[in-house]
Amino acid sequence: MTAHYRVLIVGGGQAGLSISYCLQARGIDHLVLEKHKIAHSWRSQRWDSFCLVTPNWQCRLPGYPYRGDNPDGFMQRDQIVQYIEDYVAAFNPPLKEGVEVLRVRQNRGRFEVSTSIGEFTADQVVIAVGGYHTPKIPRMAERLSPDVVQIHSSAYKNPQSLPDKAVLVVGTGQSGCQIAEDLHLAGKQVHLCVGSAPRSPRRYRGKDVVDWLAEMGYYDIPIDRHPQKEQARHKTNHYVTGRDGGREIDLRQFALEGMQLYGRLQHIQGYQLQFQANLKQNLDQADAVAASIKQTIDKFIAQNQIDAPTEPPYQPVWQPKETVATLDYAAANIGTVIWSIGYGTDFSWIEVPVFDGKGYPSHNRGVTPVRGLYFLGLPWLYTWGSGRFSGIARDAQYLADQIAPTYKRFAPSAHAIPCLIGS
């Protein structure tokens, strides 16, 4: 027998839970299907020392803003998991864990959802699985010796879990830089392939940069008004860390301390790693982005006549003396390679015609061209915070408002709760 719901939500992460909260507030019958256990990605795909790079005050799930005693701190992995578990306990969503959704299609105005426990139908479906699905590992990885341990950044746990040898980290987005730091602080010899990821200051002129950007309204800018709206959804995040109370990540300082930096990994031939000659360019470009953020803050301070301390311009503490084109990884005693080059998306199980030529869903604030099908939790779905704790409440409330008019004739359930956005 096929079970029918007004709304089915695919994914029980912060996005799926947020829309569930807002639908429950409106008395709309729905069900959340989660492939694993709630907070799975936080619990199982983050390393032991992982922490947020944005302050705790930005954790604002609908109806459940951060309530701890350290709003300017940065929650660690287990605290993040607890935050999500406490959220679930606070409103008890209709949730089925351990259920994999195998296919979504539309038939005669209804959506048919095939799962690992059977068939469901729904009037409307919210896809809340985010945009990070398939860990990327390039085919060139096949050229490495079988003696080398290879893992994706999502599988890294701690330095002690790796062979007692040097480590090559490929990629300098947020995960790559923070993992390289974690290994470096543990005394591992780290070789780091530096890509084009930008970096961000941590604090500037008396405040965390996140506080300045929030005051400037940056986090409220919708994607259609973003100066780089064509690239924003697919750009690498700025690297910075919340570790030990929060600080900048300066790869040049790591180099002074013995970390070996190279340009982007280009090819593997035998035991030779071949690099692009772009290390200096990538370091300079990252510094330029950090400087531009500071300049924007300077301008805001001047325009609003804010009394804030001044700081001298950043001075690079290290420069590459020469371009290193190749490295013999056996001679360098490299026993592990950590691929930190991101994820691919996989929406192949959704058999509804809403995708563009690259397989990305076409939508306007999560509303697709097919009536009743929505997306939630994608990077820059609407604003910078759309895929994060900070902006998911706004997006969830908006989608709930799109879904709700269909059911105005139904009275709210007895246990309905107000859908409030925490601030």
pLDDT in tens, 88-143: 999 999 999 999 999 999 998 899 999 999 999 999 999 999 888 899 999 999 99
Q: What is the DSSP string of 293-340?
A: HHHHHHHHHHHTT------PPP--S---SS---EEETTTTTEEEEEE-
- The verdict on residue 193 lying in a domain is yes
Task: Residue 184: name the closest of 141, 241, 142 by CA.
Answer: 241
Same domain, 155 and 303: yes
**Whether residue 317 sits in one domain with residue 219:** yes
Closest by alpha carbon to 202, among 171, 251, 238, 228?
238
Q: What is the pLDDT at residue 131?
A: 85
Query: Do 33 and 12 touch, CB atoms closer than 8 A?
Result: yes
**335 in the same domain as 222:** yes
What does the pLDDT average to over 325-337?
A: 97
The predicted pLDDT at position 2 comes to 78
Which of 45, 30, 129 is closest to 410 using CA atoms?
30
Q: Are 167 and 294 in a shared domain?
A: yes
Are 391 and 382 contacting, i.e. CB atoms less than 8 angstroms apart?
A: yes
Q: Write down the pLDDT at residue 334.
A: 98
200 band by pLDDT with thresholds 50, 70 and 90:
very high
Q: Are residues 124 and 177 in the same domain?
A: no
Q: Are residues 92 and 123 in the same domain?
A: yes
* Predicted pLDDT at 75: 97
Same domain, 183 and 120: no
Least confident piece of the model among 137-141, 319-323, 327-331, 414-418: 414-418
End-of-domain residue from the set 282, 317, 339? 339
87 and 212 fall within a common domain: no
Q: Are residues 94 and 209 in the same domain?
A: no
Amino acid (one-letter) located at 270? G
CATH of the domain at 365: 3.50.50.60
- Per the structure, the complete domain to which residue 225 belongs is given by 136-339
Region 25-40: mean pLDDT is 96
For residue 82, what is the enclosing H or E element?
helix 77-91
Q: Residue 241: which residues within 8 A CB-CB, separation 6 or more?
A: 51, 53, 177, 178, 181, 202, 247, 248, 249
- pLDDT reading at 233 higher than 80: no
Residue 421, pLDDT above cutoff 80: no
Parallel, antiparallel, or unpaired for β 190-193 and 166-170?
Answer: parallel
Helix/strand/coil for 5: strand
- Residue 202: pLDDT band with limits 50, 70, 90: very high
Across 22-32, average pLDDT: 97
The whole-number average pLDDT for the span 347-375 is: 95
Is 18 among the domain residues? yes
- Asked whether the CA dihedral 337, 338, 343, 349 is positive or negative, the reply is positive
Higher pLDDT, 232 or 353: 353
At 214, the pLDDT band (50, 70, 90 cuts) reads very high
Whether 412 shows a pLDDT value over 50: the answer reads no
Averaged pLDDT score across all residues of the chain? 93
Q: Does residue 391 sit within a domain?
A: yes
Residue 297 falls inside a structural domain: yes
Q: What is the model's pLDDT at position 149?
A: 98
Compute the average pLDDT of residues 229-255: 89
Whether residue 184 sits in one domain with residue 72: no
d(CA 404, CA 147): 56
Distance, CA of 278 to chain centre: 26
Directed axis angle between helix 14-25 and helix 77-91, to 10°? 20
Number of domains in the chain: 2
Is residue 417 situated within a structural domain?
Answer: no
Last residue of a domain, one of 313, 339, 365: 339
Positive/negative CA dihedral, 71, 212, 419, 31: negative
Are 382 and 365 found together in one domain? yes
Q: How far apart are CA 142 and CA 138, in angstroms?
A: 8
**What pLDDT is attached to residue 227?**
73
What percent of the chain has a predicted confidence (pLDDT) above 70?
95
> Do 159 and 118 fall into the same domain?
no
**Amino acid present at 22:** C
pLDDT at 229: 67
